[in-house]
Amino acid sequence: MESPNRRRHRHPAGDGRGGAHIGQSPARHRQGPGALAAQVETWRLRHDTAAAFAVTGTPRALPADVDEAVLRACQEGLSNAARHAGAAQLGVTLSYMEDLVVLDIRDDGRGFTATVTGGFGLKAMRQRAHSLGGDVRVESSPGNGTAVSVSIPLTGVAL
Residues making contact with ligand ADP (CB under 6 A): 76, 80-81, 83-85, 107, 109-112, 117, 119-123, 146
Q: Indicate the residue among 60 and 72 with the shorter CB distance to Mg ion.
A: 72
Binding status of residue 153 toward Mg ion by CB under 5 A: no
Of 105, 102, 104, the C-alpha closest to 154 is 102
Least separation in angstroms between CB 80 and Mg ion: 4
Please provide the DSSP assignment of 33-79 as one string. Answer: HHHHHHHHHHHHHHHT-EEEEEEES------HHHHHHHHHHHHHHHH
Least separation in angstroms between CB 125 and Mg ion: 9
Site string for Mg ion, 97-136 (x = CB under 5 A): ------------------------x---------------
How many CB atoms neighbour CB 44 within 10 A? Answer: 16
Least separation in angstroms between CB 124 and Mg ion: 9
CB 114 within 8 A of CB 144: no
- Tell me which of Mg ion, ligand ADP, none is bound by residue 112, counting a contact when its beta carbon lies within the kind-specific cut-off of 5 to 8 angstroms: ligand ADP
DSSP code at position 132: T
CB 72 within 8 A of CB 123: no
- Tell me which of ligand ADP, Mg ion, none is bound by residue 111, counting a contact when its beta carbon lies within the kind-specific cut-off of 5 to 8 angstroms: ligand ADP
How many CB atoms neighbour CB 118 within 10 A? Answer: 6
Q: Which positions lie near Mg ion, rule CB under 5 A?
A: 80, 121
